[in-house]
Structure formats: C-alpha cells, structure tokens
C-alpha cells in the first residue's frame, strides 16, 4: 500500500512539474508562453547571479528547441526571455548598466536610438517577484513587458539580435546562464 502511494505521489509530482513549468531559484517559469499568435516552448532556464546573489530566474522560449546560440540570434522567428526577479530590489541604473554591457558586445553602431528607447523603459526598481518579458515577434519588433504591462516595442530584426545577444552572444557576460538557457 505504501509503495503504491509513493508511486502515485512521484508520478503526480512529475506530471505537475511538466504541466506547470520549471522551478528555478524557487520561481516557477511556465513551460509555454504566447508571442503574438505564436506559442513558444521553454528551451532552457537558469539563474542570473551577481557574485553569490541570485538576481533573477531566467528562461528562453522558442518555437522549437535549439541549442545553437548563433542560429537563435540570427533567426527572424519569435523568441522570448522571461526574467522572474528573486532579489529584493534591483536599481534600474544597474539593469541599464548590465544591458549596455551586453549591447557593447554586439555591433550596435546603428542602434543607438533603439537602445536609448529600450533603456528608457527601466525607470523603477525591479523588486522580488517582478516578472519582465522581452518578446520578439517578426513584423512587430521587440516588446518589453513588466508584470504583464507593455512598456513599449522597438521594431527591427537588428535590434532583436542585439538584445538577445545580451544572454546568448559569443561574448556574453553570462556564460553559465547562456548554457542553461540553451539547454546544454
């Protein structure tokens, strides 16, 4: 009887985690999200850490699983990154500094206005349990959502490539997170 109960419990737990999402850093990241009319599936997820501090749980969403970062960055396909903040508060200046460090690793000479617009969306602290989504949809652009509120959309494939290179670029400052998001 105990063995049967244990098997049922384990199967229920395994099934529930598959249906509801992936738990990273105590935060559940959903298995699927919407990007316009497209359903994206979680490709991989990990933690953004600064020294030993857990800043946010982060997941990459794609139409189909892919482990090649360059292919993902170059594709004119829907893509999303979900950040679920764990730390008590992250100053917007720190986020902008991190974004700019990531942007500086890409060819951004023609994207200064787009980067300025992107950075302008980050005006208040990201506090524990805030959820930020950066979603690219072809023909629409890269949209920034904070707690499901649209802050704005920046058109263009080139900006999409630059912003997602923050996490997935060859010279990313986040190599462990990159590997986790690529599922490798």
Summarised one tens digit per residue, pLDDT across range 125-157 is 999 999 999 999 999 999 999 999 999 999 999
Q: What is the pLDDT of residue 12?
A: 39
Q: What is the pLDDT of residue 82?
A: 97
Q: Which domain holds residue 137?
A: 2-181
Q: Which two tokens stand for residue 95?
A: 């986020």
Domain count, the chain: 1
Question: Which residues lie closer than 8 Å to 31 by C-beta, 6 or more apart?
Answer: 18, 19, 20, 21, 22, 41, 42
Q: Average pLDDT, stretch 59-81?
A: 97
Q: Average pLDDT, stretch 162-173?
A: 94
For position 54, which CATH number holds? 3.50.70.10
Q: What is the pLDDT of residue 162?
A: 96
Residues listed for the chain: 184
Q: Average pLDDT, stretch 146-169?
A: 96
Over the chain, what is the mean pLDDT?
88
Q: What burial class does residue 138 get, using C-beta atoms within 10 Å of its C-beta: 0-12 exposed, 13-18 middle, 19+ buried?
A: middle
């Amino acid at each position: 009887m105990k063995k049967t109960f244990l098997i049922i419990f384990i199967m229920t737990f395994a099934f529930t985690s598959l249906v509801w999402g992936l738990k990273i850093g105590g935060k559940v990241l959903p298995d699927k999200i919407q990007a316009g009319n497209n359903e994206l599936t979680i490709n991989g997820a990990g933690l953004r850490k600064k020294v030993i501090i857990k800043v946010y749980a982060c997941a990459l969403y794609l139409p189909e699983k892919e482990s090649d970062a360059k292919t993902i960055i170059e594709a004119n396909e829907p893509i999303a990154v979900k950040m679920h903040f764990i730390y008590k508060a992250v100053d917007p200046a720190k986020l902008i500094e991190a974004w700019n460090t990531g942007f500086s690793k890409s060819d951004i000479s023609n994207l200064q206005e787009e980067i300025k617009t992107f950075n302008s969306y980050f005006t208040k602290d990201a506090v524990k349990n805030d959820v930020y989504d950066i979603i690219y949809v072809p023909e629409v652009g890269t949209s920034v959502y904070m707690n499901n509120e649209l802050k704005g959309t920046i058109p263009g494939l080139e900006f999409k490539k630059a912003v997602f290179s923050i996490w997935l670029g060859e010279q990313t400052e986040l190599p462990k997170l990159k590997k986790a998001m690529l599922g490798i």
